[in-house]
Amino acid sequence: LSRRFFREALVADLRHNYIYLEAGLGEILRVGLDKERLGSFRKGDRVVIEVENNNVISVIPRDEFMRRFYWVFQVSVSRSLRESLKKFRSSTVISTRKGSYLNNEVAKKLVELYDHGDISIVFGSPNKDPDEIALIEGWDINKEASLAINTAPLQGVRSIRTYEALFITLSLINNVIFLSKKL
């Protein structure tokens, strides 16, 4: 069976018909390209690599890839949590074990936020909730957030994996908004 996937990477260097890529795999990937194709990349560019059977079969500029394929979410990297939130200028919802449980009042607030524009959802790390991360940076996220919710109140552990929190939170928010529009 052929194993084929895409992965985002950063152009680390360009030398002698090779593009060197950092793809978070613990090593730099070296991919041979013809001079014409190599000329369309610069050091620091974000690209998407197509991998099949552990071989890079194409290197695509990220913008071109995004036009060709539909992605449901956008990821950006910032130096701090505060900087990240300032980038988006949207309503902020904190997903935290210290937040309110989902009830009619919280659901109504979520729908209001959605109706006014984009919503940024902030998740913590395995060791720190978003408010703890903000305090380390020297500010209080609770003063700037629109809402703090606990989407997994019966989790049974101090923290859950971010991907679990992501699925749970997006599913709940999607259902709340869907049901409000359907009623």
CATH of residue 64's domain is 2.40.50.140
Beta bridge partner(s), residue 11: 21
On whether both 104 and 168 belong to a single domain, the answer is: yes
How sure is the predictor about 1, in pLDDT bands with cuts at 50, 70 and 90? low
CA angle 54, 162, 53 (to 5 degrees): 5
On whether both 102 and 27 belong to a single domain, the answer is: no
On whether both 92 and 14 belong to a single domain, the answer is: no
On whether both 51 and 95 belong to a single domain, the answer is: no
Beta bridge partner(s), residue 101: 150
> Within a domain: residue 33?
yes
On whether both 33 and 105 belong to a single domain, the answer is: no
> Within a domain: residue 28?
yes
On whether both 32 and 91 belong to a single domain, the answer is: no
pTM for this one?
Answer: 0.57
On whether both 20 and 43 belong to a single domain, the answer is: yes
pLDDT in tens, 92-109: 898 888 999 999 999 999
On whether both 129 and 156 belong to a single domain, the answer is: yes
Note down the domain range covering 117.
81-182
Residue 91 is predicted with a pLDDT of: 87
Cα–Cα distance measured from residue 22 to residue 44, given in angstroms and rounded to the nearest whole number:
10
CB-side exposure of 34: number of CA atoms within 13 Å? 2
On whether both 164 and 100 belong to a single domain, the answer is: yes
Residue 75 is predicted with a pLDDT of: 66
Residue 51 is predicted with a pLDDT of: 84
Tokens 């060197």 found at: 20
> Within a domain: residue 17?
yes
> Within a domain: residue 174?
yes
> Does 3 have pLDDT greater than 80?
no
> Within a domain: residue 123?
yes
Taking a C-beta distance cutoff of 8 angstroms, is the pair 142, 130 a contact?
Answer: no
Cα–Cα distance measured from residue 106 to residue 165, given in angstroms and rounded to the nearest whole number:
18
How sure is the predictor about 158, in pLDDT bands with cuts at 50, 70 and 90? confident
pLDDT in tens, 20-76: 999 877 778 888 887 777 778 899 999 998 888 888 888 989 888 877 765 556 667
Residue 90 is predicted with a pLDDT of: 82
> Within a domain: residue 55?
yes
On whether both 109 and 31 belong to a single domain, the answer is: no
Q: How many CB atoms lie within 10 A of CB 124?
A: 22
How sure is the predictor about 143, in pLDDT bands with cuts at 50, 70 and 90? very high
> Within a domain: residue 127?
yes
Residues in CB range of 160: below 8 A, 6 or more apart:
152, 168
Range scoring the smallest mean pLDDT among 60-69, 123-132, 139-148, 164-173: 60-69
Q: How many folded domains does the chain comprise?
A: 2
On whether both 121 and 165 belong to a single domain, the answer is: yes
Q: What percent of the chain has pLDDT over 70?
A: 94
> Within a domain: residue 76?
no
User: Residue 151's domain is classified under what CATH number?
Assistant: 3.40.1280.10
On whether both 159 and 90 belong to a single domain, the answer is: yes
